Chain A
Amino acid sequence: MADIIFNLLLFFMVTSIFKMEEGLPILLPKAKSGADTQTQQIVHIWADRGSRISINDKLVQLSSIQVIMASRLEENRSIIVALNVDSRTKYKLVSDIMDQLKEANAVNVSFTSLYESER
């Protein structure tokens, strides 16, 4: 019994990720149909109400997203870009970010949302 529990313990210790990206303080939109994203291949892009953009805990200019994402894609072809955007942000910012991603050919995106249960 103790052996099994010990093995389980080891498993969860190994699989849990401790390094957390801080990002920006935002209010994520809520969605019912949110699907799990595979965390291994995610690149997070954060954007808050004040149109600040952060990748890897560094504030970046909108125009430099393309270069950053292109170099990330060279390392790993199958990355997913998770857009953590404040729900009160103007849509223009999101559309501009997506244009940059398209230019870099980072086509797999996920609009990060909080799970909202169906009523």
Chain B
Amino acid sequence: MIAKKRTKAEPTIPAATLSDIIFLLLIYFLVTTTLAAEKGLPMTLPGKASKTVKLRQEAVFHINILQDGTIKTKETGPLEVKRLRQLVEEKLLLNDKLVIVIETHPDANYGLMVDVLDELRLAKATRISLRTTAPPGSGA
């Protein structure tokens, strides 16, 4: 009796396509993680313990956002948002410690305030203060 020689094939998992699948998964996660990044305009609010500092008039630059959406400064009158960057850059050249106050009317759109803040950040302004226009008759 002849013992039949068993040709025993090693069981293997086909690995040739595995790297393809892994590669696709990799691309998927690469794309989704970059989309998760969030952008914003960082700002530090004055806390409860912050003291109010009195500043001289010439050390402060006011930008007013009115109810109807016009943006105004004392010197130039109404102006476009896009022009703010250049204006502020020039101001900062003269005085790099300039404090810029964005005074927004309570009924103005929030988006406008962000537009102005964006321009200031593009002009590399760091000392920015946010303020709300006091409603008339409040005595403030």
The interface of chain B, by Cβ under 8 A from chain A, is: 18-19, 22-23, 25-26, 29-30, 32-33, 36-49, 65, 104-115, 117-118, 121-122, 130, 132
> Would you give the 0/1 interface string for A83-119, flagging 1 where the beta carbon is closer than 8 Å to chain B?
1011111111111001001110111111111110000
- If A90-B106, A91-B105, A91-B106 touch, whether A6 touches B22 (CB-CB below 8 Å) is yes
Q: Is the CB of A12 within 8 A of B114?
A: no
Q: Is the CB of B117 within 8 A of A91?
A: no
Number of A-B contacts (CB under 8 A): 146
Most buried by B among A13, A39, A92, A101: A92
Contact with A5, one of B22, B106, B111, B117 (Cβ below 8 angstroms): B22
Contact with A102, one of B29, B39, B48, B132 (Cβ below 8 angstroms): B48
Q: Is the CB of B122 within 8 A of A32?
A: yes
Interface residues on A, range: 35 or more
Contact with A112, one of B33, B39, B121 (Cβ below 8 angstroms): B39
The interface of chain A, by Cβ under 8 A from chain B, is: 1-2, 5-6, 8-9, 12-13, 15-17, 29, 31-37, 39, 42, 80, 82-83, 85-95, 98, 101-103, 105-115
Which residues of B lie under 8 Å from residue A1 when comparing CB positions? 19
Q: Is the CB of A113 within 8 A of B39?
A: yes
Q: Is the CB of A109 within 8 A of B36?
A: no
Which residues of A lie under 8 Å from residue B111 when comparing CB positions? 29, 87-88
